Structure 1
Amino acid sequence: MESVDLWSQLAALGQVVAIDLVLAGDNAIVVGMAAAAVPLAQRRKVIFWGIGAAIILRIFFALITTQLLAIIGLTLAGGVLLLWVCWKMYRELRSHGTDEVAPDEAMDAPDATVGVSGNAAAGAAVGGVTVGAAIWQIVVADVSMSLDNVLAVAGAAKDHPTILVIGLLLSVVLMGAAANMIAHVLHKHRWIGWVGLAIITYVALDMIWRGSNEVLMHTSWLS
């Protein structure tokens, strides 16, 4: 039994790491795209506050999500939300990410019109977007992406609280220290994104299955 539990924990940890890598890279790309839409002199400020907001939101959602998932029906709702995330990821992977911009690329890019798609707002000419508007655009995207990340990690960790804590801490570290590098790796090796998509889809379906059973059991118990 101990060996089975060990393998279960290792499998959960592997899923958590893969989810963290893919979603941290996606978040960095959103930050880079938004920064590329403001004048060059102001991009460093946008990148700083954009990544800072992502870290704060991850910590906030990490503190409340484990309690929220204990509420009957929210595991099911979280699984449905992750399926929507999977659909977005699938569309972005199909488009080959030709318009993706990482934060360091935004710093080096000349002042030119940059198309922004996916989780960021649709394209605008450089100089037509203020620093405040760009930061707000990132924060709005971060709310969704940070919740997606925490839900996916919680779903993959299942009944392993230690794995859950490791996964949430890792997501914060990756977003703060390595997101830019991960964004480049994902852009160069697109197959990693497909692996991440498969894992998150599996986690979403598993959450829907477990959440549906919880709702059915609770409904039958009430009746």
Structure 2
Amino acid sequence: MEFLSSPELASQLSALGKVLAIDLVLAGDNAVAVGLAAAALPQELRRKAILIGLAAAVVLRIVFALVTVQLLAIVGLLIAGGVLLLWVCWKMWRELQEAATHDQAEAQAELELALAIEHGKGPSPEEMGLKRKSFGAALVQILIADVTMSLDNVLAVAGAAHDHPWIMVFGLVLSIGLMGVAATYIAKLLGRYRWIGYVGLVIVLYVAIHMIWDGYRSTVVRALAVEQHNASAPAFLDVTAEEVTKSCRPEKGEKLTICLAQQAIAEP
């Protein structure tokens, strides 16, 4: 039973919990965003446009996942990913504040409208005071919403679980499943219990800050600047030998040897 108290298991469970919360919160956002993007189409075309958008979103998430895993290994891009997630946090905060200022009945009516549209139902564009769009124009808007939400989700999941590849794969597969099957239910759940959104916001904010922190320290190591950093920074910020080993993983051959040589000057 020793494995139950191992630091590795605790790290994996923590990453899994963060990934589940991120998928839950962002899946609900995706349902509402796509539903509203299809509002300017006649009812008979809404479901078709959303299904095409869903198929495209699945492909996009797979592509983004493959690319993101490779890109996060590039020096400095982990910091950039963290900064982008800070923008996601700001967007989530604004949405939560807007929802808090709405009358509960009005907010629920807006949510029900978006979800009805997402299922190809709801009032016509004319009844909502909207100008009808062509199928192609509405599809482009849906695809833009899917691209934004897919990138947000992949970055957040990769940031939360990049030390545990199997959890990252699980999180991305789950995000696709939730988006296609349970997004409507999740959106209703988030509309009823707003505190879940705030919990998700805190987790995404933590992931963003952690990515920036890890990205900075990885950049110090791979730029061969550990000695200069440790000499100028307070002792509690010193880069450790363990961090050198972790940050040098993407390097190969002679570059790996040079990178690991910094262990001798890092804190044990």
Normalised TM-score (structure 1): 0.88
Q: Note the 1:1-223 alignment, pairs <5 A.
A: 2=3, 3-96=6-99, 98=107, 99-100=110-111, 101-106=113-118, 107-112=120-125, 125-127=130-132, 129-221=133-225
Q: Which has the higher contact order (CA 8 A, sep 6+)?
A: 1
Q: 1:139 to 1:66 in 2, by over 3 A?
A: same
Give distance in 1, aligned partners of 2:16 and 2:185.
21
Could you list the structure 1 runs, at least 4 aligned residues long, displaced by more than 2 angstroms after superposition.
97-108, 112-115, 216-223
1:12 CA displacement: 0.5
Supply the AA of the counterpart residue of 1:56: V
Q: Is the 8 A contact 2:34 2:146 kept in 1?
A: no
C-alpha distance after superposition, 1:189-223 (max 9, x if no partner):
21111111110000000001111112222334499
* Structure 1, 196-205 or 33-42: larger mean CA deviation: 33-42
SS at match of 1:43: helix
How far, CA to CA, are the matches of 2:24 and 2:15 in structure 1? Answer: 14
Once residues 73 and 156 of structure 1 are traced to their aligned partners in structure 2, the CA distance between those partners, rounded to angstroms, is: 17
State the superposition RMSD in angstroms. 2.2
Give the AA of the match of 2:183: A
Matched residues in 1 for 2:122 and 2:225: separation? 60
Q: Which stretches in structure 2 are left out of the alignment for 5+ residues? A: 229-268
Q: Aligned residues, how many? A: 214
Q: Is the 8 A contact 2:85 2:208 kept in 1?
A: yes
Moved more, 106-115 or 48-57: 106-115
Q: C-alpha distance in 2, partners of 1:210/1:150?
A: 18
Q: Give 1:79 shift.
A: 0.2
Instruction: Give me the whole-angstrom Cα distance separating, in 2, the residues matched to 1:138 and 1:22.
Output: 19
Contact 1:104 1:180 in 2 (8 A): no
| Conserved? CA contact 1:79–1:208, under 8 Å | yes
Structure 2 CA distance for partners of 1:17 and 1:184, relative to 1, 3 Å: same
Residue of structure 1 equivalent to 2:231: none
C-alpha change, 1:57 and 1:21, in structure 2 (3 Å) is same
Letter paired with 1:7: A
1:120 alignment counterpart: none
Q: Give the structure with higher Rg (CA).
A: 2
- Consecutive unaligned residues in structure 1, runs of 5 or more: 116-123
Percentage of matched positions with identical amino acids: 56
* Structure 1 residue 37: Cα displacement: 2.1
User: Which whole-Å CA distance do the structure 2 matches of 1:136 and 1:163 have between them?
Assistant: 32
Q: After superposition, what is the alpha-carbon deviation per residue over 1:96-123, rounded to whole angstroms, capped at 9, x for unaligned?
A: 07344544355332124698xxxxxxxx
User: Is contact 1:36-1:126 (8 Å) kept?
Assistant: no
Query: Helix, strand or coil for the counterpart of 1:14?
Result: helix
* Compared CA separation, residues 14 and 114, structure 1 to 2 (3 A): farther
Kindly tell me: are residues 12 and 113 of structure 1, through their superposed partners in 2, closer, same or farther at Cα, counting changes over 3 Å?
Answer: farther
8 Å CA contact 2:46–2:117 kept in 1: the answer is no
Q: TM-score, normalised by structure 2?
A: 0.74
Measure, in 1, the Cα distance between the counterparts of 2:38 and 2:197. Answer: 23
